[in-house]
Structure 1
Amino acid sequence: MTVLVGHLPGTDPDGRALVLGGRLARALGGPLVLCTVTGPGEDAAPAVPEAPAIEGVEVEVTSIADRSVPGGLARAAHAHQAAVVVLGDAPPGPGSIGARLARAADVPVALGRDGALHEGPITRVTCAWGGGRHAERVLATAVDLARRTGATVRVASFGPQRGRTVPPEAGLHAEQIVVEQWREQMEGAQRAALAQLGVTDAETLAAADATVEEAVTGIGWDPGELLVVGANAVGTATRVLLGDPGAAVLRAAPVPVVLTPGTTTLS
């Protein structure tokens, strides 16, 4: 299974994409293709790096000409039949390269964010569950990734402790009841979706805290963990796959994020 790493000069000084790409390539047992996108008519030679040495991974270096970086990487992913495309650290907001690529290429896109310089094995895959239209398919991608890398699976929903449709005058007790109902609903949906995939040993949880960011950081993360999120979660703030807190989940995640279009598992 080929891992395609997008080499975008000047955007990844720490080489996070290459480190994460190497980890994924070793885990998936396939080659790594390091791809540079150049504009039509540009000389690719100055931008294309030499093939790096990555232990246990066959590395190929290539370039492709295209008017847009997402378009070029999408074409390269198709040409090399890539299972996943890896990019360096980038804000996963609307219009970002990662978000546009995940939709254009119809392939998961891994962002080498915080924790991406960890070189150990992938130990756990957490799926951010929001119960939206593509939630089951996003979960299927996370489960597939975990199975192929030998990692465990965790499914997590995140929400703010306050603001769950409880008016302030209703009091803390009423708020706690609503949060508990939300937690039971999320975890029940998670377990049902896992059962459909034949998964019986995954951890499920629904975390609520003062803010979504605190809920995300408070659940504990392994150094070798990945977070799988639906690509639609980087859309507009009020129409995201995870609900309104979607963008906050992405901002707060302390591990590399895999954006998936939610239409297919790994190829």
Structure 2
Amino acid sequence: MTTIVAYQPGVVGREALQLGAFIARSTRSKLLVTMVLPTPSAPSVARVDFQYTSLLRQQLFTELEEAKGDTPDDVDAEFRIQDARSVPSGLVEVAEAEDAGLIVVGNSSRGAFGRVSLGSVTNHLVHSSPVPIALAPRGFHSHDPARIRRLDVAYGGLAGTSGLVLAAAGMAAEMGAALRLTSFSLRSRSLTTDLIAEDELRSAVTTDVQSSADRALTEVQALPHPPEIGATAIGFGEDWADAIADVGWDAGDTLVVGSSDMGPGRRVFLGSTGMRIVHESPVPVIILPGDAVPTLVERAESDRPGGDR
């Protein structure tokens, strides 16, 4: 398996390399560090265009040499320049040609520290890629543990989400990671002064989510090689940041988010709720496009060893 890193020079690129290595260790995959050279859709005979492209290609070679120095020594890495009409399309072309497991992108340099903020290229990929996308929070650096220890699935308890849970369970088993379902509930500000009403609401939400999660986890336990399953976590808050923080996060956690059912077929498409969860996540995020879920479920249900370490 191959993990694509969309590299750019600077801090953002180093964070993407760190996340790529974090995932590559966990999945035992090759790292393919890629820079895209945008090329005009129509050929030009102008010498100045040729010279400019040659200079830009040499610059990308120099930047990839710098990337080699920032890539951890314990991962198998390859470095490549891809010609394409745009950066997003070039990354997808490489990922599809390599049958890659996912594309890793860095954070926007203008984002809040410790949170995910999408730049223009990342935003395009998040809404169009047929390949899972992994996002690094700003300031991400993998120390200890150096690989994924737990996959947390953003779970809404809705019909049709069992596929997402099974897909994440298969990924967790292959990584030798634990699985946890996480749900987030926003409480009305008008209830904050009514403790009885708030307690009743919290109890009702917890009962509903836990009942649905138990059914989904029963399917996970029936897999040939189920991962270790942690207690379902439900976060409450007046806004998404509070609710997401409320579940508690550990080093080695990675959040899995599914595409919206309103998305264009097999490609990644995040609705407003999914985008808010991604933006407020304090840990790396993997976004699964709709078409990837059945394939991952099929792998999870196949009778082959998981990722025991």
TM (norm. structure 1) is 0.82
> Per the alignment, in what secondary structure is the counterpart of residue 56 of structure 1?
coil
Which residue type is aligned with residue 81 of structure 1?
D
Shift of 1:78: 0.5
In the alignment, structure 1 residue 46 sits paired with structure 2 residue 59: yes
More displaced stretch, 221-230 vs 206-215: 206-215
Shift of 1:144: 2.4
Distance 1:180 1:263, change over 3 A: farther
More displaced stretch, 110-119 vs 74-83: 110-119
Q: 1:212 is matched with which residue?
A: 240
Which residue type is aligned with residue 24 of structure 1?
I
* 8 A contact 1:35–1:63 mirrored in 2: yes
The structure where strand makes up a greater share of residues is 1
5 Å-filtered alignment, 1:174-193, equals: 174-193=197-216
RMSD over equivalenced CA pairs, Å: 3.1
Unaligned runs of 5+ in 2: 41-52, 264-268, 300-309
In the alignment, structure 1 residue 201 sits paired with structure 2 residue 219: no
Give the fraction of aligned pairs with identical amino acids, expressed as a percent. Answer: 29
Which residue type is aligned with residue 236 of structure 2?
A
Distance 1:225 1:32, change over 3 A: same
Shift of 1:158: 0.5
Which residue type is aligned with residue 221 of structure 1?
W
Summarize deviations over 1:56-102 as a string: whole Å, max 9, x none.
Answer: 32211112122222211111100111111101114667895335324
Which residue type is aligned with residue 153 of structure 2?
C
More displaced stretch, 39-48 vs 185-194: 39-48
In the alignment, structure 1 residue 261 sits paired with structure 2 residue 266: no
TM (norm. structure 2) is 0.72
- How many Å separate the matches in 1 of 2:93 and 2:159? 27
5 Å-filtered alignment, 1:1-267, equals: 1-9=1-9, 12=12, 15-40=14-39, 42-43=53-54, 44-48=57-61, 49-50=64-65, 52=68, 53-90=71-108, 96-114=120-138, 116-119=140-143, 120-132=146-158, 135-162=161-188, 171-198=194-221, 199=226, 201-232=229-260, 245-265=273-293
Unaligned runs of 5+ in 1: 236-240
Shift of 1:220: 1.6
More displaced stretch, 142-151 vs 70-79: 142-151
The structure where helix makes up a greater share of residues is 2
* 8 A contact 2:259–2:274 mirrored in 1: no
Which residue type is aligned with residue 28 of structure 2?
G
- How many Å separate the matches in 1 of 2:21 and 2:129? 21
* 8 A contact 1:137–1:263 mirrored in 2: no
- How many Å separate the matches in 2 of 1:181 and 1:242? 28
Which residue type is aligned with residue 16 of structure 1?
E
Aligned residues: 257
The structure that has the greater radius of gyration is 2
> Per the alignment, in what secondary structure is the counterpart of residue 138 of structure 1?
helix
- How many Å separate the matches in 2 of 1:242 and 1:38? 27
